[in-house]
Amino acid sequence: MEADAGYCLFDTALGPCAVAWTASGITDLQIAEKTRAQTERHIRARSGAREAVPPPAVAEAILLVQRYLEGERIDFSAVRVDLPRASDFHRKLYLALRRIGWGKTTTYGGLGKMLDIPADARDIGQAMGKNPVPIIIPCHRVLAAGNRIGGFSAPGGTMTKEKLLALEGIHAGFSEDEPALPGLFG
């Protein structure tokens, strides 16, 4: 653990989320679990960091996540991320994911075509399942073939993915009558 690493919990429209960081950027973003204690336990275990007051750049990223989860159109491309545990393939994939803008989607196959290295849908899905910074690295914007919802490894699974897509006006694999918010588990 770096001396300047930290994590903090913060409230959102989905419930308590958490973020961890180093001096180089955001390392982890934990989407709300069923309880605040679960969210904190997971961010602490993944990051190995101690609870701390976020520095200004992290505080700004937190504000952006909060505004996004309230339904505001947010561009996360300027948020710095630090991915020390990511392989070269994962880094390349995450960079490609960050180019998929608000309200846009692609498929696993389409994402594979964006990469300059060979990768099949399974490789891409496994890498996305390890995305430590969901929302900021928008893996929810990748759909299965036929624009089906596909999987999502964050808390709440595909229900969370559907809600994030609904915030952006995308209705894939669920009823448009379903409210996008509040909360995942409420």
CA distance between the termini of the chain: 35
Residue listed under structure tokens 């904190």 = 40
Alpha-carbon gap, residue 44 to 83, rounded angstroms: 16
Backbone angles phi, psi at 20, to 5 degrees: -125, 155
- Give the residue carrying structure tokens 């994402």: 111
Q: Tell me, yes or no, if 139 is annotated catalytic.
A: yes
Q: How many whole angstroms separate alpha carbon 132 and alpha carbon 139?
A: 10
Query: Catalytic one among 49, 83, 100, 139?
Result: 139
In this structure, are strands 15-22 and 6-12 parallel, antiparallel, or unpaired? antiparallel
Q: Which residues are catalytic?
A: 139
